[in-house]
Amino acid sequence: MKKKISAVVLAAGKSKRTKTTLPKVLLEVGGRPLIFYILEILSSLKVVSDIIVVLGHKKDLVKEFIAKEFKNVKFSFQKELNGTAKALLAAKPLLNKTNNVLVLCADSPLITAATLKECIKYFFKEDADCAVLTAIFKEKNDLGRITRDEKDKIKSITERVELKESGQEEEVNSGIYCFKRDTLFKGLKLIRLNKKKKEFFLTDIIEIFYHWGCKILGYKLKENTEILGVNTQKNLSIVRKVLNQRFLDNLMKRGVVIVDPENTFVSFDTKIGKNTVVYPFTFIEKNVIIGSNCTIGPFVRLRENTVIRDNVKLGNFLEINRSKIDEGTRIKHFGYLGDTTVGKSVNIGAGVVVANYDGKKKYKTFIKKKAFIGSDTIIVAPAKIGKGAVTGAGSVVTKNVKDKNIVVGVPARVLRKR
């Protein structure tokens, strides 16, 4: 594909219907902001020459988030939040690299790279003035309806679909378009204010193009979930579920055993080795790495920056945060480990808690290989538990424990050496 296209991501809106103080595009899904999914896909497409994000509501905050992760993105700003047509016009000064423009909404994280690539390819092949990505829905939704004339040509987009009967099919607009640059900006100038909404809608450009006799094509998707957007918290929950299933599918393809995908929750960057079994109600946050031949769960929460090596067993009602667990270690029952490094072949009993926070600062704990931590032990960080050391059940460890020492009591004292 020799031709190139510039991508414009519309991310200026206030997102009132999500009822959040945070801009909608920064709402976290699968361990990362919503807009990052679109930007990552666009960055991966060779046909996309440049990426412009149009900002408005809380623009400085959104720009700061994006700029940290994506160095190749340019920004334009919509001073008055008066609709998608005006948002796109705000990007015009930056659109000088190509004669083609891809327009997307920032709140559509389910679109795939393959779909965008094929849509752009179709747009170029047919030499269209505009290509609209569409899909068929039988369910009630709030997407714009595609209307066609007697020759099956697209002639307009009607805002918001209201299906009259259950099971009735409607072709709807995804909010993703390919345009010829010059035709696009001529049309944008003619879009009039919607008196009811007090906004200038980009969708109105389709009717303008139709009356001009422009070539308007629809690229119809087979899988309509790809164009689901986020306008409400309910929409967000659906998107979160679809993305989570995609993440789990990729893990299962690599040899991970997910016992119950409906009740297992991972992040976009979760890494798990072959033959590891993950039981239901396991929650894995971003930047977590799990080795091979492990068992995780049920009811386990692995928080950010946790590393689990091979052949580790993590059991019921356990939370691990910013910790490293080495090979062959077993933590099979309820407990909490925070900022803890655990060596090889350690046994940690039921109810063990690492008290890593004193109200002001968090401290680190080190448990060396082959240590045995008795049930209901509390380790007050900072602490070091030596190689082969043992803590008796119910001990409160406030000092370092030397190699092979056995400590018991509150506070824990040396009983003897192994």
User: Tens digits of per-residue pLDDT, 109-144?
Assistant: 999 999 999 999 999 999 999 999 999 988 777 788
For residue 361, give both structure tokens: 């600062």
Mean of pLDDT values over 287-300: 98
The SS3 call for residue 344 is coil
Which pLDDT score is estimated for 163?
47
Does the annotation mark 57 as catalytic? Answer: no
Mean of pLDDT values over 315-331: 98
What is the distance of C-alpha 68 from the center of its chain? 16
Query: Rounded to 5 degrees, what are φ and ψ at 380?
Result: -90, 110
* Residues 6 or more apart whose Cβ sits within 8 Å of residue 99: 180, 181, 182
Query: Rounded to 5 degrees, what are φ and ψ at 96?
Result: -125, 10
Alpha helices in 82-203 (DSSP H): 84-90, 113-126, 181-188
Which of the four pLDDT bands, split at 50, 70 and 90, describes residue 2? confident
Mean pLDDT over the full length of the chain: 94
For residue 144, give both structure tokens: 């714009």
Architecture of domain 251-417: 3 Solenoid (2.160)
Q: Does 19 score more than 90 pLDDT?
A: no
Give residue 228's identity as a one-letter amino acid code: L
List strands edge to edge, sheet with 257-258: 257-258, 277-278, 295-296, 313-314, 330-331, 347-348, 372-373, 390-391, 405-408, 413-417
- Which residue of the set 17, 92, 333, 364 is catalytic? 333
Which residues on neighbouring strands pair with residue 219, listed in sequence order? 133
Could you tell me which of 262, 308, 302 has the C-alpha nearest to residue 285? 302
Mean of pLDDT values over 324-350: 98
Distance CA 340, CA 381 (A): 9
∠ CA 59-11-217, rounded to 5°: 155
Contact between residue 54 and residue 35 where contact means Cβ atoms under 8 Å apart: no
Neighbours of 88 (CB within 10 A): 27
Q: Does 164 score more than 70 pLDDT?
A: no
For residue 343, give both structure tokens: 């060596």
Which of the four pLDDT bands, split at 50, 70 and 90, describes residue 82? very high
The SS3 call for residue 271 is strand
Distance CA 170, CA 157 (A): 12
Which of the four pLDDT bands, split at 50, 70 and 90, describes residue 200? very high
Q: Comparing 18-27, 126-135, 265-274, 399-408, which segment has the lowest mean pLDDT?
A: 18-27
Label the pairing between strands 170-180 and 100-105.
antiparallel
Contact between residue 343 and residue 387 where contact means Cβ atoms under 8 Å apart: yes
Which pLDDT score is estimated for 121?
97
For the chain, give every residue range classified as CATH 3.90.550.10: 5-233
For residue 349, give both structure tokens: 């009993």
Distance CA 256, CA 278 (A): 8
Q: CATH homologous superfamily of domain 5-233?
A: Spore Coat Polysaccharide Biosynthesis Protein SpsA; Chain A (3.90.550.10)
For the chain, give every residue range classified as CATH 2.160.10.10: 251-417
